[in-house]
Structure 1
Amino acid sequence: MHLDRLSWSVDGRVIVDGVDVTPPTGALTGLLGPNGAGKSSLLRLVAGVLHGAGAVHLDGTDLLALRRRERARVLAFVEQDGGVPESMTVAETVLLGRTPHGGLLAGMSDDDRDHAEWALVTAGAEAWRDRMMTTLSGGERQRVHLARALAQDPRVLLLDEPTNHLDVRAQLDTLAVVADLTAAGVTVVAALHDVNLAAASCEHVVLLDHGRVVAAGPVSEVLRPEVLEPVYGVRCTVLEHPRDGRPVLVFDRTPR
C-alpha cells in the first residue's frame, strides 16, 4: 500500500500535509507524533472517511476511488471512539463486519457466521457475545470493534489508538492479535501515543508533526534522540532491551 501525497485542510488550516509513505506489506506500521500531529486525521483519510487530496494505492488500484462497499472488502478501520450500536449484542455487532462480502439482499451465510465466530475468539471477545453493546466498558467495546474489523477479512487494517482504555495484559493480547495478522500478510497501520509500545511492537514507524512526515522507516532508524527530541520537545535517552535488543526510550522534560 502506498499513501500518495495525502492532504486535508479545514478552513484554510492544513491538518495533513502531503503525506507520502509506503507502509510495508504484512507488517505493523506505527503512526507516532504529539497531540494534534494529524495521526487520526491521516487514518480517516486513508479509510475514506475524510475527503481530501491524494490517493491510496493497493496493487495498482486507488482505494479512495472505490465505492465504500468495495473498499470495505479490502480495508477495515477501527476508530478510537467508534459508535456503539443501540440494541445490538456483541455477536450481532461483529457479524456486521461481514456485510461488505454479501449481496445487497442476501442474508448472512454459515461462512459469514464462521468468520464472525473466529473474529470473536481471535479478539478475545467471545465471553461477551450475548451482552448488549451498551453494557460494555470502553476497553471491552474496543475489543469488539477490533473483532468486527477482523470479520471483514481485510488486507489492510487501520487502528486508531487500539490500546486505548486497555490494561497492560489486554494491550499485549491486542498486539499479539496484530502480530498474527501481519504474519498472515495483513498490512496494519496503527496510531499510537505510547512510543515505547511502538518500539516494542512495530516493524516500521512514521513520525508526524503538524501534519507532515518528519521521518519514516525502521524502528531503529526513527526512534532516535535527534529525531524525537525536536518533535516532542523532550530529552530522550535510548536504551537496549535486555531480551530482544529493541530500543527502550526514557524521556525527561527539556529544561526551560
Structure 2
Amino acid sequence: MMAHESGDLQLEHLSVSYGSKRIVRDLTLSSIKAGQVTALVGPNGAGKTTLLRAIAGLLRASGSALVHGKNLLTMGYGERSALVSYMPQSVPERVSLTVLESVIATLRATRRPGMMGNAHDRNRAISVLEQLDITDIALDPLDCLSGGQRQLCSLAQSLVSDPSILLLDEPTSALDLRHQATVMGVVRELAAAGKIVICVLHDLSQAARWADSIVVLNHGALYLHGAPDEAVTPQMLSEVYAVEARVESLHGHLHVVVQGAI
C-alpha cells in the first residue's frame, strides 16, 4: 500500500474498449517514476494513444491509475486537470486566437484555487513560450501556423498550468531537428524537476536517446518495460515490429538500423 501513496504512477489492470473491441488489455505497470521520462512505443494500433487518453480521463477505462493513493480514472474534471495535462497528436483547426491568447486561455481553464489572473497569466504564458523558443509567433493566429508551429503551441498549452503529470502524444512528429532537440530538452528538464512525463514516440532511436525508461506495447498489452538498452533490442524489433534490425551504440546512444521487414 505504501507504494501506492508515492508520487509515482501505478497502472493496475487498466483496460480500454471501443464497443466490443478491447484496445488496451489488462495493463499493469508497477511504477512510472516521477523525475524520469518514460517513452511509450509500439507499432501502429498497439494502443499508445488510447492509453494516454485513458490516463488523461478522455476515455472510459477500467482498472486504476494511482498517484498519491488516488485513482486518476475516477477523479472529477477539476481535480484531474490540476494534476494532468495531455498534448494530443493534432490541434483543432480554424481557431482565430493568437498563440499567446490560446496559451492564456488554457491556463485560465485549468487554473487552480488561489492562482492569480490577468498580468500573472500573461507573464506565465510568455515564460512558457520563451522556454520553447517560440516568442516570435506569440501574436500569430493559430489558423495561420505551420504544422510544426501548431505542435509547439499545443505543447505550450500543455505546460502552462505546470502539471504534475505530463502526457505527450508524439510531441516531435512535425518538428524540424532543431525544435525536436529543444522540445526533448525541455521534456528532460521537466522530468528532472520531479514531474511524471510519458511521451508517445515513434522514433525508437529518439526514445532511447531521451527516455529513462521505455514501455513497449504490442496489441494493447505490455510487452516490456525497462531501460532503453533492455527495451530496444533486435529481438523486440523482430517480435513486436516484425523487422530485422541492428541496434548500434554511437557516441553513447542507441541507434536502430532497420534492414528489412520480416
TM-score normalized with structure 2 length: 0.91
3-state SS of paired residue (1:15): strand
- Quote the Cα distance in structure 2 between the aligned partners of 1:158 and 1:189: 5
Deviation at 1:48, TM superposition (A): 0.5
Amino acid in the other structure paired with 1:207:
V
- Quote the Cα distance in structure 2 between the aligned partners of 1:101 and 1:47: 17
Find the counterpart in structure 1 of residue 255 from structure 2: 248
- Quote the Cα distance in structure 2 between the aligned partners of 1:101 and 1:187: 20
How is 1:94-113 mapped onto 2 (pairs within 5 angstroms)? 94-99=103-108, 100-102=110-112, 108-113=117-122
- Quote the Cα distance in structure 2 between the aligned partners of 1:73 and 1:85: 27
1:154 equivalenced with 2:163 (yes/no): yes
CA contact (8 A) 1:24 1:204 kept: no
3-state SS of paired residue (1:253): strand
Find the counterpart in structure 2 of residue 227 from structure 1: 236
- Quote the Cα distance in structure 2 between the aligned partners of 1:121 and 1:67: 32
Find the counterpart in structure 1 of residue 87 from structure 2: 78
Alpha-carbon displacement from aligned partner over 1:226-256 (angstroms, at most 9, x marks no partner):
22211100112111122xx23222111145x
CA contact (8 A) 2:61 2:73 kept: no
What count of residue pairs does the alignment treat as equivalent? 252
CA contact (8 A) 1:15 1:210 kept: yes
Unaligned runs of 5+ in 1: none
The structure 2 residue matched to 1:60, chosen from 46, 53, 69, is: 69
Alpha-carbon displacement from aligned partner over 1:174-203 (angstroms, at most 9, x marks no partner):
101101111111111011111111011111
The structure 2 residue matched to 1:188, chosen from 189, 197, 222, is: 197
- Quote the Cα distance in structure 1 between the aligned partners of 2:261 and 2:139: 50
Alpha-carbon displacement from aligned partner over 1:8-57 (angstroms, at most 9, x marks no partner):
11231111111111221111111110111111111000100011212111
Find the counterpart in structure 2 of residue 19 from structure 1: 27
Alpha-carbon displacement from aligned partner over 1:119-175 (angstroms, at most 9, x marks no partner):
111122211111111000111011011111111101110000101111111111110
Find the counterpart in structure 1 of residue 247 from structure 2: 238
1:46 equivalenced with 2:55 (yes/no): yes
CA contact (8 A) 1:16 1:211 kept: yes
TM-score normalized with structure 1 length: 0.93
Find the counterpart in structure 2 of residue 214 from structure 1: 223
Find the counterpart in structure 1 of residue 13 from structure 2: 5
3-state SS of paired residue (1:152): coil
Distance 1:84 1:120, change over 3 A: farther
Aligned identity (percent) is 34
CA contact (8 A) 2:15 2:23 kept: yes
- Quote the Cα distance in structure 1 between the aligned partners of 2:204 and 2:89: 17
Find the counterpart in structure 1 of residue 78 from structure 2: 69
The 4+ residue runs of structure 1 with deviation greater than 6 A are: none
3-state SS of paired residue (2:185): helix
3-state SS of paired residue (1:101): coil
Deviation at 1:95, TM superposition (A): 0.8
Amino acid in the other structure paired with 2:175:
L
Amino acid in the other structure paired with 2:19:
D
Find the counterpart in structure 1 of residue 6 from structure 2: none
- Quote the Cα distance in structure 2 between the aligned partners of 1:144 and 1:13: 34
- Quote the Cα distance in structure 2 between the aligned partners of 1:253 and 1:205: 23
3-state SS of paired residue (2:32): coil
Deviation at 1:107, TM superposition (A): 8.1
CA contact (8 A) 1:32 1:39 kept: yes
- Quote the Cα distance in structure 2 between the aligned partners of 1:61 and 1:169: 38
3-state SS of paired residue (1:57): strand
- Quote the Cα distance in structure 1 between the aligned partners of 2:157 and 2:261: 42
CA RMSD of superposed structures (Å)? 1.7
- Quote the Cα distance in structure 2 between the aligned partners of 1:164 and 1:63: 27
Amino acid in the other structure paired with 1:9:
S
- Quote the Cα distance in structure 1 between the aligned partners of 2:192 and 2:112: 27
- Quote the Cα distance in structure 2 between the aligned partners of 1:142 and 1:231: 28
